[in-house]
Amino acid sequence: MEQKGGVLMQKYELGRLLGQGNFAKVYHARNLITGTSVAIKVIDKEKVLKVGLVDQIKREISVMRLIRHRRVVELYEVIASKTKIYFVMELAKGGELFNKVLKGRLKVDAARKYFQQLISAVDYCHSRGVCHRDLKPENILLDENENLLVSDFGLSALFESKGQDGLLHTTCGTPAYVAPEVINRKGYDGVKADIWSCGVILFVLLAGHLPFHDSNLMEMYKKIIKGQFKFPKWFAPDVRRLLSRILDPNPKTRISIARIMKCSWFKVGLENPAITPTENQELAPQDADGIFEACENDGPPIAESKHELTKPCNLNAFAIISFSTGFDLSGMFQETVSMKEMRFMSNKPASSIISKLEEICKRLSLKVRKKDGGLLKMEGSKEGRKGTLGVDAEIFEITPQLHMVELRKSNGDTMEYQKLFTQDIRPALQDIVWTWQGEQPQQDQQHHEVIQEDHQPSHTA
Average pLDDT value for residue range 390-396: 86
- How much is the pLDDT for 129? 86
The mean pLDDT of 43-55, rounded to a whole number, is 83
Supply the mean pLDDT for the chain: 78
76-81 average pLDDT score = 89
Count of CB atoms within 10 A of residue 445's CB? 13
The predicted pLDDT at position 279 comes to: 52
Active site residue 143: no
The residue ranking higher by pLDDT, 374 or 460, is: 374
What's the pLDDT band for 155 if we cut at 50, 70, 90? low
pLDDT band at residue 179 under the 50/70/90 scheme: very high
Helix 237-246, helix 190-207: angle, nearest 10: 150
**Model confidence at 411, in pLDDT bands (50, 70, 90)?**
confident
User: Of 32, 136, 26, 4, whose CA–CA distance to 90 is shortest?
Assistant: 26
pLDDT at 334 over 60: no
pLDDT band at 165 (very low <50, low <70, confident <90, very high): low
Give the integer Cα–Cα distance in Å for 77 and 55.
18
Neighbouring residues of 16: CB distance < 8 A, sequence distance ≥ 6: 4, 27, 28
Residue 394, pLDDT > 50, answer: yes
Q: Which domains does the chain have, with CATH numbers?
A: 7-91 (3.30.200.20), 95-273 (1.10.510.10), 317-448 (3.30.310.80)
Q: Render 390-447 in DSSP notation, one character per residue.
A: EEEEEEEEEETTEEEEEEEEEES-HHHHHHHIIIIIHHHTTTT-SEETTS--HHHHHH
Between 34-43, 249-258, 415-424, the lowest mean confidence (pLDDT) is in 415-424
Q: Determine phi and psi for 52, rounding to 5 degrees.
A: 75, 35
Contact between 313 and 337 under an 8 Å Cβ cutoff? The reply is: yes
User: 41 labelled as ligand-binding?
Assistant: yes
- Tell me what pLDDT residue 434 has: 82
Q: Could you tell me which residues come within 8 angstroms of residue 418 by beta carbon, excluding any fewer than 6 positions away?
A: 129, 339
| Range scoring the smallest mean pLDDT among 82-86, 144-148, 376-380, 441-445 | 441-445
SS3 157: strand
Evaluate if residue 190 carries a pLDDT over 60.
Answer: yes
- Rounded to two decimals, the pTM is 0.62
pLDDT recorded at residue 416: 85
How does DSSP assign 307-376, residue by residue? T-PPPPPP-SHHHHHTTSGGG--HHHHPPPPPTTEEEEEE-S-HHHHHHHHHHHHHHTT-EEEEETTTEE
As a whole-number percent, the residues of the chain with pLDDT over 90 amount to: 36
Q: List the catalytic residue out of 123, 134, 152, 413.
A: 134
Instruction: Give residue 133's pLDDT.
Output: 83
At 152 the three-state DSSP class reads coil
Amino acid at 37: S
Q: How far is CA 290 from CA 102, 295, 302, 370, in A?
A: 40, 10, 10, 44
Over residues 75-82, mean pLDDT: 88
Burial of 222 (0-12, 13-18, 19+ CB in 10 A): middle
**The predicted structure's pLDDT at residue 376:** 86
Confidence of residue 293 (pLDDT cuts 50, 70, 90): low
pLDDT digits 0-9 by tens, 192-209: 999 999 999 999 999 999
In angstroms, rounded to a whole number, what is the distance separating the alpha carbons of residues 134 and 175? 10
Range from 121-130, 201-210, 414-423 that averages highest in pLDDT:
201-210
Asked if residue 421 has pLDDT above 90, the reply is no
Task: Give me the pLDDT at residue 171, please.
Answer: 54
Q: Cα(144)–Cα(410) distance, rounded to whole angstroms?
A: 39
Confidence of residue 292 (pLDDT cuts 50, 70, 90): low
Torsion, Cα of 188, 194, 199, 205 (10° steps): 140
Longest dimension (CA), the chain: 77
337 Cβ partners below 8 Å, 6+ apart? Answer: 313, 437, 438
pLDDT value at 191 more than 90: yes
Render pLDDT for 3-29 as a digit per residue (tens, 0 to 9).
Answer: 556 899 889 999 999 888 777 889 999
